[in-house]
Structure 1
Amino acid sequence: MLTVQHLTSGYGSAKILNGVNLDLGSKEVVAILGRNGVGKTTLLKTVMGIVATQSGTTELKGQNITKLPTHDIAKAGIGYVPQGRGIFDKLSVKENLRMGLRSRPDGSDEIPEYIYEKFPILLERSGQLAGTLSGGQKQQLAISRALCGDPKLLLLDEPSEGIQPNIVQEIGSFVRELVERRDISVLIVEQNLELIGLAADRFEIMVKGELVHRGLTSELNNEEMLKEYLSV
């Protein structure tokens, strides 16, 4: 589904990614772990074309998308939910969802029914300004807006940030259910191990812009590994 090879990128003269290699299979959920500031968010932004690639390649289902502008990467089949959600506070819930339809390859202008089935609060509050929603509802909206584009790959950046534990569990379960029922893969940057345990098949750990360790989610109870790579 996604193949990243020797990817480097950064901001100005500051290099953040130092030759990242990553393979994500069809209908697979992979979590990127690591301490703050190691390059996790930069990886997602580079895949999405928000941060320019300095060297290396990114392929989606065999198509080289390395140099494509962000809107073409979205149309190629990648949905992105940034850290902080990035919803439009002054637009209604429904208007936010309709924004996501713009990247659909089939040109459909219908909000997928399964979104309202899973998050009925979005239908109930479809005319409400998005900025008045709770943190958990905003996250549901942000994920749903990305899914309106019918992506084959979903990028999630810290979806548990600022939301209550029961919503964290709901989102983790939804990601798992989404992959099992639909033709989609997910790359998720996250520090909440409970969410990762619910959603992910495996994980990769990033240190100083490189992926240095990988494993199955069953290994996340390894205290020695957690201390080495994740403790502050």
Structure 2
Amino acid sequence: MTFAIGDKVTHDGKSATIEGGPHTGYSEWYAVKGDDGKVYPVGADRLTVASGFAIGDEVETAAGYRAKVVAGPFVNRYGDGDDRFWVLEDEDGKHSAPHEYALTKVEPEPIKVGDRVRVVLATHAEKRHGSVGVVTNVSADWKPYDGPVHQYEVEFNDGDEIYAATVEKVTDDPNLHTYNGVTYDLSAEYRDKDGDIWRFARVGDEVRGEWGTYHITETSYTLEDVADRFGPLTRV
């Protein structure tokens, strides 16, 4: 296959861009630039046209069902080099391997103000990676000297607010919390093994609780601790 300068390609599971070629030596090769900005030679037989899919993407097949990409791309032995297929896993854990041309990527809904999100990348605020907060701005343009533009402002229950470059939407119910296979409703009250009544609430990144009329604070028992020490907990 012949490539042109600027073409997006993949090789050995890596993505790159054609910078020069084709060149002829013992075999045909191209100069490619990797995602790290470095340019290096790669044999033409190791290059394929870049796909629009990646591991973890949600896709819809021509048959109308949705699944997650878990492996690929693989080149059909009997195709022309562009006939590729991917391995998909559906919600039932079953797998299929449709042709790439039969797949359409399912684009996630854009993040908007008010969405609950989990922080994936926040330069100089790494302690918040994995934390859940609420988006207060989606058009910030803060850029650290050693990282990408941080377009999201995220506020947390404890009042802390940070800039984040990458976030993912959290769709689970904020009033529900699961521990050891048991789902607790944070809007309800629970009776422990001694008969005491507990209330729970999210404080920062954790679920904490108090019994009686004590106020719930960042020093209160975690729900996990209450369940382990005073459980089983029975909803009132």
TM-score bucket (shorter structure): under 0.3
Q: Whose Rg is larger?
A: 2
Q: More relative contact order in 1 or in 2 (CA 8 Å, sep 6+)?
A: 1
Structure with the higher fraction of residues in helix conformation? 1
Structure with the higher fraction of residues in strand conformation? 2
